């Protein structure tokens, strides 16, 4: 027994030794090839192939021979191997490639023609031949293989996906589009694959006319093949990529009606439009679902979200009309009275609280309403309850009740561990200290929050920590810094005229010049709140022109990109300012997000950016 164990162990050691030697030779062969020492590489690859018979090594052996122009040796080797494997298209096409490299084009043509003639209904052989041609960039030959395969297989397999990929390699985009369309008409389940492929081709191409061409082709298909709803689905997806939500909605509604759907497609589109601040389209989408009737599957959700969207549209309009605010309050109030305060109406209820507190000077009423529902914890889910507590904390702070605000923030922080809302509560506590003039404690808390898993909180914390650090040393009395924090506190309490007075006093104080660019930035933020967009643009541009080496410069550029994208719908201008950030300020903490958003706007990515217009203002306004 022991003797057999000894034999087995010795055999394993022998195999391991041989494998190690083979691995070393392989690594050395590739090193020679990379270093263009092709003669040495050829010898080793030949040895590896003879020992293991792996075609992978043969390919590199032939490639090495071609590099040193040993065409006869390459031809001799391949003919020998083809005799052993006459049905191996890789070997035959490799030989054709050798003839091409040696200038023997007649022999090459004969080989390629023979390959095409010898094809049969064996699908794997068709793939093998096409892939071999593609490897040697013989694209027209690969196309001929696929087209012959289509004829021979007679619909059993159409090679649309492979042809589309082949055309994509050659940047023959219109042919590529036609193949994808043909694929979907034949197999609608492939839509996700087609979308991914189009994302990699049409949206990364420098030719921006391609999207228009694809739209035209799809619209034509919806007219020619009205029953092929997959064309409308792809067209909806295409419009969403271009953020043309209104056009997407037209086709989504048409599909919903044609297929007698429950509105889910339209509801999803409404949410996407809302996330991208296209409130008009979102409202139209929700209205369509509401008009389907109270028995509709999405009726209640649509009605609730319609009011939340109307709130966002109203407060983000160029001019916040008091009459519209009152009308909005009435609509929200009616909705809550009809459906009660519960988990499902939570977002509408919170919108009602904000309307009353922030726009109708009914802060006390809002506080009372929140206190009542918070005591009845069963009304809301735990995350909703925490969100309500944070809002109550904000409202009590607006009334200068620092003690209750601190208690509420602390409760949310302590009860939620490492959840993002705990970091938000901690951030609000630190802001409270900043408003109160306790700058060092606020900075210490912000330094902790810089490691937050919430990117928005982390960036805001970093911004405020850096702001305090940069200015506290230059202000021994902290008087100017206190004026600045007062301005932020007034803004938080929606006392914007007082906030502007504080900022103007800083800008007029020659001793406070180090804070001038910060004051410009914050004044721009206030003007955005007041919907004085053009004035805000002037201030942000002033920072870029006069203070382009300061940390406020990339912040100003980021805010300008938000204005042009979300307020003015000028995508090109938005891209311009985003590009400034990641080219001129690559080290700023805005750079990665700016690059990502730039790629989204250019159409390279499928994600959408959902950040607020004022997302980099250290002052968190409820």
| Mean pLDDT value of segment 288-314 | 95
Give the start-to-end residue ranges of the domains of the chain: 474-602
The tens digit of pLDDT for each residue in 340-372 reads 999 999 999 999 999 999 999 999 999 999 999
The pLDDT, as a whole number, for residue 105 is 96
Residue 535 burial (CB count, 10 A) = 15
CATH class of 474-602: mainly alpha
The pLDDT, as a whole number, for residue 477 is 65
Note the pTM of the prediction, 2 decimals.
0.80
Alpha carbon separation from 45 to 27, 29, 51, 64, 205 (Å, rounded): 10, 6, 10, 9, 39
Of all residues in the chain, the percent with pLDDT exceeding 70 is: 91
Is residue 377 scored above 90 in pLDDT? no
Tokens for 319, please give them. 């001019």
22: Cβ–Cβ under 8 A, 6 or more apart, which residues? 48, 51, 52
| Mean pLDDT value of segment 249-257 | 96
Is residue 618 scored above 50 in pLDDT? no
Compare 597 and 317 and report the one with higher pLDDT. 597
Is residue 51 scored above 60 in pLDDT? yes
Nearest-angstrom CA–CA distance, 210 and 172: 11
Whether the CB-CB separation of 532 and 545 falls below 8 Å is answered with no
Is residue 379 scored above 90 in pLDDT? no
User: Percent helix, strand and coil across the chain, each rounded to 5?
Assistant: 80, 0, 20
The pLDDT, as a whole number, for residue 53 is 84
Nearest-angstrom CA–CA distance, 212 and 235: 11
């Amino acid at each position: 027994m022991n003797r057999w164990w000894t034999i087995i162990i010795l055999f394993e050691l022998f195999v391991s030794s041989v494998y190690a030697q083979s691995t070393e030779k392989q690594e050395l062969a590739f090193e020679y090839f990379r270093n263009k020492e092709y003669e040495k590489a050829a010898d080793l690859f030949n040895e590896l192939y003879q020992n293991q018979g792996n075609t992978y090594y043969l390919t590199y052996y032939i490639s090495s021979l071609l590099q040193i122009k040993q065409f006869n040796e390459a031809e001799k080797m391949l003919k020998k191997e083809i005799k052993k494997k006459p049905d191996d298209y890789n070997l035959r096409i490799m030989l054709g490639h050798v003839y091409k490299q040696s200038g023997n084009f007649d022999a090459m043509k004969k080989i390629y023609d023979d390959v095409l003639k010898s094809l049969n209904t064996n699908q794997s052989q068709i793939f093998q031949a096409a892939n071999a041609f593609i490897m040697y960039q013989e694209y027209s030959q690969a196309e001929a293989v696929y087209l012959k395969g289509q004829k021979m297989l007679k619909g059993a397999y159409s090679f649309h996906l492979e042809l589309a990929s082949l055309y994509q390699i050659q940047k023959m985009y219109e042919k590529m589009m036609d193949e994808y369309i043909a694929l979907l008409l034949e197999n609608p389940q492939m839509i996700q694959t087609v979308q991914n492929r189009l994302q990699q081709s049409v949206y990364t191409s420098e030719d921006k006319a391609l999207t228009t061409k694809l739209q035209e082709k799809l619209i034509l298909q919806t007219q020619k093949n009205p029953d092929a709803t997959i064309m409308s689905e792809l067209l909806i997806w295409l419009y969403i990529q271009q953020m043309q939500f209104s056009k997407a909605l037209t086709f989504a509604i048409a599909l919903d009606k044609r297929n007698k759907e429950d509105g889910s497609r339209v509801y999803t589109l409404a949410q996407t439009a809302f996330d991208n601040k296209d409130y008009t389209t979102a409202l139209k989408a929700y209205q369509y679902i509401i008009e389907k009737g109270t028995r509709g599957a999405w009726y209640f959700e649509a009605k609730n979200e319609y009011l939340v969207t109307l709130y966002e549209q109203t407060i983000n309009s160029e001019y916040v009309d008091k009459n519209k605010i009152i009308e909005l309050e009435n609509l929200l109030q009616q909705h809550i009275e009809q459906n009660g305060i519960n988990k499902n109406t939570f977002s509408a209820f919170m919108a009602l609280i904000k309307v009353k507190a922030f726009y109708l000077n009914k802060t006390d009423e809002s506080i009372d309403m929140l206190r009542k529902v918070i005591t009845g914890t069963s009304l809301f889910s735990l995350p909703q309850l925490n969100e309500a507590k944070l809002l109550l904390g904000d409202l009590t702070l607006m009334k200068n009740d620092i003690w209750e605000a601190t208690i509420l923030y602390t409760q949310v922080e302590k009860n939620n561990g490492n959840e993002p809302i705990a970091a938000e509560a901690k951030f609000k506590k630190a802001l409270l200290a900043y408003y109160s003039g306790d700058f060092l404690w606020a900075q210490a808390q912000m330094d902790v929050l810089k490691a937050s898993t919430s990117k928005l909180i982390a960036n805001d914390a970093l911004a405020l920590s850096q702001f305090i650090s940069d200015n506290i040393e230059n202000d021994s009395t902290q008087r100017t810094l206190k004026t600045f924090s007062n301005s932020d506190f007034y803004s938080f309490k929606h006392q914007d005229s007082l906030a502007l007075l504080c900022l103007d006093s800083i800008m007029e104080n020659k001793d406070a010049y180090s804070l001038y660019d910060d004051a410009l930035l914050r004044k721009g933020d206030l003007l955005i709140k007041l919907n004085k967009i053009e004035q805000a643009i002037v201030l942000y541009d002033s920072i870029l022109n006069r203070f382009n080496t300061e940390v406020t410069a990339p912040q100003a550029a980021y805010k300008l990109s938000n204005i042009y994208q979300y307020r003015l719908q000028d995508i090109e201008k938005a891209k311009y300012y985003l590009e400034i950030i990641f080219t001129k300020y690559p080290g700023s903490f805005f750079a990665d997000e700016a690059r990502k958003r730039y790629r989204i706007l250019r159409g390279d990515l499928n994600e959408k950016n959902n950040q607020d217009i004022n997302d980099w203002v250290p002052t968190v306004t409820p």
